[in-house]
Structure 1
Amino acid sequence: MDRKSWIGLILSITGLIAWEWFYLKNFAPGQDYSKSPSQATSAPSFSVPSSPRLPPSPLPIISETAMLRNSTADYWFTGFFGGISKIVVQKHLGDDRTPILLSSDSRLPIGALWVTPTTLMEGFAMTTDRATHSVTFTKASENGIQITKRFFLLPDKDRSNQYRIRLEVSFCNPTSSDIYWPSYWISVGNAAPIHSSDLPSYTQLSWSNGGRLTSINVDWFDGSKIPLLGIERRTPAKLYQRRVPSVKWASVSNQYFCTFLMVSDSSGDGVWASRIPLRGDSQSYGIEGRIELPGFRLASGKTRVQSFTIYSGPKELNRLQVMGDGQEGILQYGLFGFVSERLLWIMNWFYGVFGNYAWAIIALTLLIKLGLWPLQNRATRAMRQMSLLAPKVTELREKYKDDSQKTNEEMMKLYREYGVNPFGGCLPMLVQIPIFFGFYTMLGTSIELRNSSFLWIRDLSQPDTVLHLLGFPINLLPILMAGTMIWQMAISPKSGDVLQQKIFYFMPLIFLAFCYNYASGLALYWTTQNVFSIVQLYLTRNSPLPQLERKVAITRKKEHFGK
């Protein structure tokens, strides 16, 4: 490499190290947020903000509780606020091998009613009916309206009902006059990071008003600035408030789990969210959200019922798709969503065969590699042709060394003359880019890899950190990935195109930066495909060298044989 290339290489390495330091300092929560209810004294909890929506004492919260259980989750209710205070997901474990907790804050329960965005309705009476698997809360409001909230479990033998619970909120007017009930808010619950490696972008509020999905994460509350210039585009905010028509659902989510509140038979008028610091960690935040419902006039003796469906569980693509209103959008597959969904489907199919997600990834990688095998062979042939043209390219550079434009023109003529594509060696890499980013986005939020181990890797959904060196995590698999990329480059035919060589030189660093603190399943995929590529290169490296012939000569041969 020339001097500029070496400078770029050094700057890239420096940038990677700086990013890892910045990430560890600012983003990594540094603790596990997935403790079980048996560890109540150290369970994840939000700090108590100074806000009028919270009661002066926590005693009413713990004085009356109830629990409903089905095959997938335990639902704990708080009587004082009339909502779900926490959900224990039995089939998914945290780092300490105990069940995951969702929306685990009894001060911000799912289904709680707010008469203003900051004033929580309290003082409900609670009854439990085990026969109907339901919990009912009742309260008489100051204006005489009788409020009843009823939560009931759905039959979970039907897979589409798993992790779901129904909520009916009824307003009854027993008085002799009409009463207007103003707009009110209903809580979606809250979400917080589960793993110490979760990025803030995974802790978010999402909502939809009929096909269009909008999301904000906890960093939204910091405002935004124009990069490099530092000019403020949006000031920091304590609250996120949007008045929008036809809100169908809202959700709060972390990297692998989510809670949805879906409005049945009507829609909301807006959404509201706030960011809450996690207790014991001033740099990490959870998020809470709620939906605004429109006000209404209730005639004497009449009852108005509003129904909701609550989903609180894993972010599994098929479970979200069957909800039927674009809920799978919270997975944020993005531009390569079509690729991500297909890769996920095939990976799950291989998992059904092997019973291990690591082997499923390896089998999927082999399948992709076999599909790209002819393309890789053509690319290798193009690179070998370029290596044969290297002496002629060198002559042109020497001949026109003072005229770069003329050099490029003559080189392109040379390539056309011999029918060589100077970027033919890059084609397999370009085809792999959508697959790589399809894996990247799919593994970022899909829950399938959680708690899946392989060799030294404890969890394929997390970085495979083997130790810390001066506080810096040593993740072995991304390093092996970069090493196999360098090995592959070393045995690949050398192209005469300097630009292409420079691109190849920087690719290991780019991929290392992408994968270093990401799900180790992604690094496993790319390392495996590198190994398969190396095997393919060794199998084809002894094939005869391609013959360079001018296109004019080839045309004459064809005309001669045609006669």
Structure 2
Amino acid sequence: MLLKNYKTYDKKPLYLMDGTNSKIDLTVETSDNKQINLADLYFSTNAAAKIEVKNKAQSVSFKLELAPNQYIEQIYSLKADGFELGYDLKFVGLENTLRRQSDVAFHWVNEMKRLEFDLEQSRQKAKINYYLSKGDFEELSGLTAEYQQKRIKETLHWATFNQKFFTTGLIAKNKNFNAAVFATEVKDPKSKTVEKHGEIDLLVGSNDIIAGKGQFSFYFGPNQYYILKKVEAESFSDNVYLGYPVVNWFAKYLVVPLFAFLEGFVSNYGVIIILLSLIIKSMLFPLTYRSYKSMAKMKVINKYLQPRMDAFKEKHRKENGGKEPDMQTTSMHQQELYKKIGQSPFAAVQGCLPMLLQMPILFAMFMFFPSAIELRQQPFLWASDLSVYDHVITFSFNLPFLGNHISIFTLLMSISSIGITMTSNQNTATAGGPNAGMMKVMMYMMPIIFFFVLNSYPSGLSFYYLIQNLITLGQQHLIKRYFVDEEKIEAKISKFEAEQKYKDKATKKKSPFQVRLQEAQEKARQAQQERAEKKNAARNAKMNDKKK
């Protein structure tokens, strides 16, 4: 099965099935308990040796006459567009020839051919997907190289051999596969031509075929979302994996349509990624602005809070024999300080919330780029193919966690991430506490970790993150220079604090927070005293028992 408009990674014609790597057997059981494979029988046809499909669908019929008014017919039909091959199976006048309540079995063995440059990642993507008639999409994991098998004892709608960018599959238009067995394995890990071995066994009742319900279709084509969406089978587009719910909603209804829209105007896919980055960043700018402004405000607030919190803790240690204040006492004192400067105790959370709202889009991109066949064999700058890692820097050996290459786009992305971390540390106050140093180290470690993780991912993904980081650095600079006046925020806090001190001095009354703070401290002191008394009583009782 040749796909005309596609080539393999080494620029050869792309055959999903070439007569040697894949075979489909179709067996029936006769009333005298014989198994007959239709692939072993001779079917005749009146069709021409060559049929060309242009403006309308064409069909070819193959018929096996068994007796007058008794025959098996297989009809193949091909539309003018798309990648479906219709297949109708008819048993006419065979009610007494076939075994009653038996099954017609499709047995499909497929040595999934290597089609992409990155063999290891292609093997991890090669799997079997299937869709149950009740509406559940499931799969046989591609991450497992060892032999795995799954038996299904309920009706199915379709099943596919799903590779990184291409799919072959069989669809029951009447959703009447009544059972199935699926299996995959990497038989020869050293093979450079085969990604994975797979087997699909599907059963359909012979009574259904006799009743005229033998309508099926094969799909041989690309894993392109909008192409799969047109296939007449429920959820067939799920063969393009775009993540879990919420994430895949953003991917399906924002990222994919936006990418397709840009394709209509721009032919260079590197430029499309740049434009996509600019649009997404522009959409998220209100959230970015609020987050950055809130962090800048927290920097000023922490400059006020930290020395006062340190003084409070030092005073508490002096008054309580070097003992640190508990979390409740510390929290209440911190809330009192927030009140004195007229700020919400949740100011820090308000800065993080806009960032969290951006996470689904971030993950949607992470799922979209590795699955985007549109990037396949599309060059940009030094990358020869945006759907795989750029491999300008390669080694003759493998390094742990890195492989035999360094992706330049991923390296630049990691460096820009470190730049964002450095800028963020300069623009926001560093949190205090015993874990502050560790947190700062982790902030710098994360870009390095992502470098190792993304080094073998598609260069298009790393390039997208690189552009996002560069835009982020630019936004941070513009917001700090033109939209956030830290001196104004600091003056406002100082003014509010002075007014609050004047009010406290004039009224000479304790605030509700101060009252609650003192009550909490007193309760804590009493509880501590009670625990000490109980401990002493238990120790004395134990000593008295020993004396007796």
Number of residues of Structure 1 aligned to a counterpart in Structure 2: 446
**Which deviates the most, 265-274 or 399-408?**
399-408
2:257, 2:9 → 1: CA distance?
A: 26
Q: 2:39 aligns with which of 101, 122, 135?
A: 122
What are the within-5 Å matches in structure 2 for residues 492-531 of structure 1?
492=424, 493-498=427-432, 501=440, 504-531=443-470
Partner of 2:125: 202
Q: Shift in Å at residue 296 of structure 1?
A: 2.5
Match for residue 214 of structure 1 among 138, 161, 182: 138
- Deviation at 1:477? 0.9
> Which structure 1 segments of 5+ residues have no match?
1-86, 157-161, 223-235, 558-563
Name the CA shift for 1:395/1:552 in 2 (closer, same or farther; >3 Å): closer
Percent identical among aligned pairs is 20
Question: Is this contact kept in 1: 2:157–2:174, CA < 8 A?
Answer: no
CA RMSD of aligned residues (A): 3.6
Cα distance 1:436–1:174, how it changes in 2: closer, same or farther (>3 A)? closer
Structure 1 equivalent of residue 287 of structure 2: 375
CA distance in 1, matches of 2:465, 2:259: 15
Structure possessing the higher radius of gyration over alpha carbons:
2
Distance between the aligned counterparts of 2:23 and 2:226, measured in 1? 27
Matched, 1:148 2:87: no
* Deviation of 1:437 (Å): 0.8
Alignment of 1:375-524 (within 5 A): 375-391=287-303, 392-397=305-310, 399-400=312-313, 402-403=324-325, 405=327, 406-415=329-338, 417-418=340-341, 419=343, 421-469=347-395, 470-471=397-398, 472-492=404-424, 493-498=427-432, 501=440, 504-524=443-463
Matched with 2:10 is 96
Amino acid at match of 2:12: T
Alignment match, 1:270: 179
- Partner amino acid for 1:217? S
What is the aligned counterpart of 1:163 among 71, 74, 83?
Answer: 83
Q: Distance in 2 between matches of 1:219 and 1:141?
A: 47
| Corresponding residue of 2:513 | none
**More helix by percentage:** 2
Which digits, 9 at most, give the CA deviation of each residue in 1:272-312, with x for residues without a partner? Answer: 222254557369523232321123399xxx78561211111
**Does the C-alpha gap of structure 1 residues 502 and 288 become closer, same or farther in structure 2, counting only changes over 3 Å?**
same
Report if the CA contact (8 A) 2:126-2:161 is conserved: yes
| Corresponding residue number in structure 2 for 1:310 | 218
Letter in 2 for 1:149: Q
C-alpha separation between the residues in 1 aligned to 2:430 and 2:336?
15
Question: Which of 547, 550, 561 pairs up with 2:489?
Answer: 547
Counterpart of 1:535 in structure 2 is: 474
- Letter of the aligned partner of 1:372 in structure 2? L
Q: 1:108 to 1:98 in 2, by over 3 A?
A: closer
Is the aligned partner of 1:243 residue 2:168? no
Deviation at 1:466, TM superposition (A): 1.9
| Partner Cα separation in structure 2 for residue 321 and residue 174 of structure 1 | 37
The question of whether the paired residues in 1 share the 8 Å contact of 2:295 and 2:428 is answered with yes
Verify the 8 A CA contact 2:122 2:163 in the aligned structure 1: no
Q: What SS does the aligned partner of 1:473 have? A: strand
1:410 deviation in Å?
Answer: 3.6
Task: Report how far residue 413 of structure 1 moved.
Answer: 4.5
Measured after TM superposition, the shift of residue 270 of structure 1 is 1.4
CA contact (8 A) 2:122 2:195 kept: no
* 3-state SS, counterpart of residue 374 of structure 2: helix
How far apart, CA to CA, are the structure 1 residues paired with 2:310 and 2:42?
A: 86
* Amino acid in the other structure paired with 1:346: L
Is the 8 Å Cα contact of residues 369 and 387 (structure 2) preserved in structure 1?
Answer: yes
SS at match of 1:454: coil
Indicate the larger mover: 486-495 or 413-422: 413-422
After TM superposition, give the deviation of residue 324 of structure 1 in Å.
4.6
CA distance in 2, matches of 1:394, 1:554: 15
Which AA in structure 2 matches 1:253?
Answer: N
